[in-house]
Amino acid sequence: MLTSIAILGKPNVGKSTLFNKLTKSRGAIVSNFSGLTKDRNYGIVNLNNKNFLLIDTGGIESEVKNDEINSKISDQAWIAAEEANSVILLLDKTQNLSTSEEAIIKKLRKLNKNFLVVINKNDIKRSGQIEEDITRKGIKEYISISAEHSLGLQQLKKYFDDLNLINSNYQNEETIQKISIIGRPNAGKSTLINKVSDTQRVIVSSIPGTTIDALSVPITINKKKYVITDTAGIRKGYRNKSQIEYFSFVKAMHAVDNSDLSIILVDANQGIVDQDLKILNMAKKFKKPIIFALNKIDLLSKSDLNNLQSSRNAQKKVFKEHDIFKISAKDGTGVKKMLSATVKIMFKARKKFSTAKLNKVLTKITEKKPPPSVKGRILKLKYINFAGVNPIRLVIHASQDKKIPANYKKYLLNQLKDELDLKNIPLELIFRKADNPYKKINKLSQRQIKKRKRLISFTKKRKK
């Protein structure tokens, strides 16, 4: 079990900046916009060959009353504080101690938590009375830093080192397979994350845009660990809405790129719209396995569901290339079946194929529809071999590699996907011109080359 440290504080004091600096990542979106971080965000910090878990949290603002979202943000932050071994209370040097921060200090003392006060933004000349205020509250020891400019971080790391952090056999993140969930706003992505993780890990609200960052959550499927990532909803015109919305989109696409499989979640109550097709096209660029999930089927009648499946968009060829699961993230209908299929698809996506099997399949395909002629010569597909995964790459060695008709390439791709059972999984075909096996054997000696020249010269003279 890893030692965990949670970063608490009111909004806009620099928690996400400090989180990114210590984890050496861009795991949290940073902006001057207050209240950007809403859910708990986890990252691994390596210090002197010891690993510990750092938890970024949303800003706690007790002065805002009767606000559902702010209340849930505070709840998530306090869950992080309760599960952590230690807490960093981050304060802003340029301000005075607020009533929210006084309440945080009081509650941390009641929780009997080991906490350290860290005063951020010491690079700014303007100063409030934060140091005098915390002294009056009985806090005499604190560390002054600038998270943005990495000032004072060595002193903070020494504090972590003195905590005697457990040198855990933490499983490397790269060995854990990752699943990302993408889709339009309010499709139910956060609800699905909470359902599969069996916790209220992510804030769920009917207000679109509640999730801004991409948040990774560990889950277990069939006794094996995976990481599932919740992403911000991708809406039409995201580029022109705001800078934060654009960065949310970038984080979502980054999650797709880092994942082993993506689930595109569709709000079945609203039907399959053009934006869902655009999201599919965006995800396909990363050449990772993709499946579809029609969510909120609990809100549809049987006839409504049939109408949805027979709609114009649902009947498009692009959807037939992917499995479509009917689920309800709210009550769990179909979720287990979808996750089980997800694991099988990820396994298939890493499968290696022997040259013997591939050549047997290629022979079957070419016998069904022989290769066409290229420049008056019959195209010969000599052999095929496996070249890698993510995406699965197959190399076809042929008598010609550059002028093979596009329709025959498409035929080979579709037939190979069917024969190798690669539905949902990207396949890339690479065509190479096969080498002449007798090229080296037929190499002429210097004596033969001279003789050949004499014969050519003699033939030309005779023709005259």
Kindly report, as residue ranges, where domains of CATH 3.40.50.300 are found in the chain.
4-162, 173-349
Q: In terms of C-beta density within 10 A (0-12 exposed, 13-18 middle, 19 or more buried), how is residue 397 classed?
A: middle
Q: What is the pLDDT of residue 165?
A: 58
Within the chain, which residue ranges are assigned CATH 3.30.300.20? 351-464
| Candidate from 37-51, 127-141, 164-178, 450-464 with smallest mean pLDDT | 164-178
- Reported as a pLDDT band with limits 50, 70 and 90, residue 436 is low
With H, G, I as helix, E, B as strand and everything else as coil, classify residue 321. coil
In what side-by-side order are the strands of the sheet with 381-388? 381-388, 392-398, 427-433
Residue ranges of the alpha helices (H) in 144-291?
153-162, 189-197, 238-241, 243-258, 274-284
Q: Using alpha carbons, select from 273, 265, 278, 282 the residue that is nearest to residue 231.
A: 265
Residue 32 has pLDDT above 50, yes or no: no
pLDDT confidence tier of residue 31, bands split at 50, 70 and 90: very low
pLDDT tens, position by position, 244-273:
566 677 778 888 888 999 999 999 988 888
Contact 55, 84 (CB under 8 A): yes
Rounded mean pLDDT of the chain? 82
Q: Which of 393, 397, 395, 388 is nearest to 427 (CA)?
A: 393
Q: Give CA separation, 360 vs 38, 366, 371, in Å.
A: 54, 10, 16
Class at the top of the CATH hierarchy for domain 173-349 = alpha beta
Write down how long the chain is: 464
Radius of gyration over every alpha carbon of the chain, rounded to an integer in angstroms:
30
Q: Which CATH superfamily is domain 351-464 in?
A: K homology (KH) domain (3.30.300.20)
Q: Which CATH architecture has domain 4-162?
A: 3-Layer(aba) Sandwich (3.40)
Q: First-to-last CA distance in the chain?
A: 93
pLDDT at position 241, please? Answer: 55
Contact 300, 307 (CB under 8 A): no
Which residues does residue 181 pair with via DSSP β-bridges, in sequence order? Answer: 230, 263
